[in-house]
Amino acid sequence: MAARNVMKGKTGDWLAVIGLEIHAQIASHSKLFSGSKVKFMAPPNQLVSFFDAALPGTLPVLNKYCVEASILTALALSCRINKKSLFDRKHYFYADMPAGYQITQQRKPIASNGHLLFNVYDDVKREKPRRHRVNIKQIQLEQDSGKSLHDDEKQQTLVDLNRAGVGLMELVTEPDMSNGKEAAAFVQELQTILERIGTCNGKMAEGALRVDANISVNKPGEPHGVRTEVKNINSVRFVKNAIEYEIRRQIDVLESGGTVVMETRSLDDTGCTIPMRDKEVVQDYRFMPEPNLPPLVLYDDTTINSTICQEKAINVDTLRRRMPELPEDQRQRLTEDYGITYSNAVKLVNEEGLADLFEQLCTASSRKETKRLMNWCLIDILKCLHQRNLTVKQSPIPVEKLSDIFSSLQSGEISAKSAQKLLELLFDGDSRSVSEIMDVENLRQITSEEEVLKFCTEAVNEEPDLVEVYQSRNKKVINKLMGIVQVKSKGRIEPQLARRIMEELLERRRRR
């Protein structure tokens, strides 16, 4: 057992065993079994069909897009697609489940036996991460429940059924993780994949991706311990923190002579896991076949034929051909095609849409400037986006204008400071061309030696003390003089040209 997986306790070494159950909301405009719309933060109970409210006599109609999304997800995770899957009723009684059961896939899910290879950074200073594999037990389609809103002040619970019936993919992993870092890295990579293939937006803060973690600890060589479940973890950071807290809590309980209870826990605001309900008695969900839905049958190129309705049938091979480049494939290709480090490729790919933008901008720039362009994307462009809470896809600046800015920066026509000013103006809605903004806002770089000499002379005349320090062989003081020159020119002077002229000016004065 690798040393990184062993946790030290007062009584010796411990191992943790972790498996995840992840509910990913399918990025569909309508629900899994009804035509009701799906919209985050809609007014309560405004997106509810008769079927969602479980009115008698209403029947489910399967959403074809949700099926295709689950197949794409399964393909991206190297799963075996079951050409015939079944729907079941899972019975439980909550106020936000009006039918008294959930339609899911218990006996034969749509996909199984997959895996995900991903990177784990044990040390943030390491350039190369280690690779870890987690096996996927199954992926199943199911409907979401509604949402209960508890009002403690009025001591009442309100129910919002907008979410009832929304399509979910439940991904169940094997217990192949041993610490919080591995689990968090798995969730982050899964989130990136789902966003890339467009089957889930991955927004954990909105509940589009919800994680349940099953955790147990045991001594090396001993059987797995009693497991607890931490429900509804809603961020990658909280996945890591919740699991690490729960591992340490279980170790402390066992080392103090106590017993770990099989229970469901939640993560509170302080970062601690707290009991929700015990699981000592296995709940009987009374699974039964869903009588109103036939088996879900899928096809491929070898089984589909002219006797089958092509519009209604789902061809797995057609979906396979639609699969975009997956994140890890793109990371590897970026390092090979553009000569950037793997860690920078990770940064580009993990920011949705940024790697594609980088490649589009690369087509119009010199290969010698690839590293500079990469840094410009990762620092300057991302800074403007994050300040405005925008994603790359929501950027108001066309690629052509971004290319014009970088070309001007690359040629020395504008300085880095002026390029940043251009970005800020365009992000804030300036509709003028890049060239027009440069002219009107006086952003073009000063390259005339005569003008540069004028600014340098003014700085030298105003700072005789700094000149004296320079002449006493402390040449580092030139940096302060250069700063004064840049302030006077509003950052428009080309730095190398200004430094050469400043050095020549100071040397001439020293020789007098």
Q: What are phi and psi of 84, to 5 degrees?
A: -135, 120
Question: For residue range 254-270, what is the model confidence (pLDDT) as tens digits?
Answer: 999 999 999 999 998 88
Question: For residue range 274-294, what is the model confidence (pLDDT) as tens digits?
Answer: 998 765 556 788 999 999 999
Q: Are residues 457 and 365 in the same domain?
A: no
Q: Please give the pLDDT value at position 187.
A: 98
| 3-state DSSP assignment of residue 499 | helix
Cross-sheet strand order for the sheet of 288-289 = 101-104, 88-91, 288-289
Residue 123 has pLDDT above 70, yes or no: no
Q: Please give the pLDDT value at position 505.
A: 85
Report the 10 Å Cβ neighbour count for 91.
16
Determine if residue 215 is left, alpha or beta; phi over 0 gives left, psi from -120 to 50 gives alpha, anything else beta: beta
Q: Which of 223, 189, 166, 52 is nearest to 115 (CA)?
A: 189
Of 51 and 487, the one with more pLDDT: 51
Q: How far apart are the first and last CA of the chain?
A: 74
- Average of per-residue pLDDT values in the chain: 91
For residue 311, being part of any structural domain is answered with no
Mean pLDDT of 38-67: 96
Query: 440, 466, 486 — which closes off a domain?
Result: 440
Q: Please give the pLDDT value at position 1.
A: 43
Of 194 and 7, the one with more pLDDT: 194
Task: Say how many residues make up the chain.
Answer: 512
d(CA 104, CA 88): 5
Q: Please give the pLDDT value at position 511.
A: 66
Q: Are residues 475 and 345 in the same domain?
A: no
How would you label 116-135 residue by residue, b for 16+ Cβ within 10 Å and e otherwise? bebbbeeeeeeeebeebebe
**What is the distance, to the nearest Å, from the Cα of residue 500 to the centroid of all Cα atoms in its chain?**
46
Question: For residue range 353-407, what is the model confidence (pLDDT) as tens digits?
Answer: 999 999 999 987 766 789 999 999 999 999 999 999 999 999 999 999 999 999 9
Q: Please give the pLDDT value at position 236.
A: 96
Q: What are phi and psi of 37, to 5 degrees?
A: -75, 160
Residue 227 tokens, joined? 């497991």
Question: For residue range 210-246, what is the model confidence (pLDDT) as tens digits?
Answer: 999 999 999 999 999 999 999 999 999 999 999 999 9
Strand partners, 22: 171, 211
**What's the total number of domains in the chain?**
3
Q: Please give the pLDDT value at position 512.
A: 62
Q: What is the DSSP letter of 94?
A: -
Q: Are residues 52 and 161 in the same domain?
A: yes
Q: Are residues 172 and 103 in the same domain?
A: yes
Largest CA distance in the chain: 102
Q: What are phi and psi of 222, to 5 degrees?
A: -100, 160
Q: Please give the pLDDT value at position 308.
A: 76
Question: For residue range 2-28, what is the model confidence (pLDDT) as tens digits?
Answer: 556 788 888 889 999 999 999 999 999
Q: Are residues 78 and 178 in the same domain?
A: yes
Report the 10 Å Cβ neighbour count for 307.
5
Q: Please give the pLDDT value at position 83.
A: 95
Mean pLDDT of 321-330: 96
Q: Are residues 349 and 392 in the same domain?
A: yes
Count CA atoms within 13 Å of residue 15 on its CB side: 16
Query: 289, 304, 319 — which closes off a domain?
Result: 289
Mean pLDDT of 31-38: 97
pLDDT category, 411, cuts 50, 70, 90? Answer: confident
Mean pLDDT of 326-335: 96
Residue 415 has pLDDT above 90, yes or no: no
Q: Are residues 431 and 477 in the same domain?
A: no
pLDDT category, 125, cuts 50, 70, 90? Answer: low
Mean pLDDT of 142-151: 91
Q: Are residues 109 and 178 in the same domain?
A: yes
Domain that holds residue 499: 449-510
Q: Are residues 204 and 66 in the same domain?
A: yes
Residue 74 has pLDDT above 70, yes or no: yes
Question: For residue range 101-114, what is the model confidence (pLDDT) as tens digits?
Answer: 999 999 999 999 99
Q: Please give the pLDDT value at position 304.
A: 84
Residue pair 299/316 in contact (Cβ under 8 Å)? The answer is yes
Q: What is the DSSP letter of 206?
A: G
Residue pair 73/65 in contact (Cβ under 8 Å)? The answer is no
Report the 10 Å Cβ neighbour count for 270.
7
For residue 407, being part of any structural domain is answered with yes
Q: Are residues 29 and 117 in the same domain?
A: yes
Q: Please give the pLDDT value at position 281.
A: 54
Q: Are residues 30 and 69 in the same domain?
A: yes
Residue with tokens 């009115």: 55
d(CA 481, CA 456): 8
Residue pair 428/467 in contact (Cβ under 8 Å)? The answer is no
For residue 224, being part of any structural domain is answered with no
Residue 166 has pLDDT above 50, yes or no: yes
Residue with tokens 């809603």: 234
Q: Please give the pLDDT value at position 124.
A: 58
Residue 247 has pLDDT above 50, yes or no: yes
Residue with tokens 């007062």: 10
Instruction: Give the angle 197-200-202 at the CA atoms, nearest 5°.
Output: 110
For residue 420, being part of any structural domain is answered with yes
For residue 227, being part of any structural domain is answered with no
pLDDT category, 127, cuts 50, 70, 90? Answer: low
Query: 423, 440, 457 — which closes off a domain?
Result: 440
pLDDT cut 70: percent of the chain above it: 96
Residue pair 205/234 in contact (Cβ under 8 Å)? The answer is yes
For residue 275, being part of any structural domain is answered with no
Residue 502 has pLDDT above 80, yes or no: yes
Q: Are residues 466 and 363 in the same domain?
A: no
d(CA 247, CA 8): 11
Pairing state of beta strands 263-267 and 273-278? antiparallel
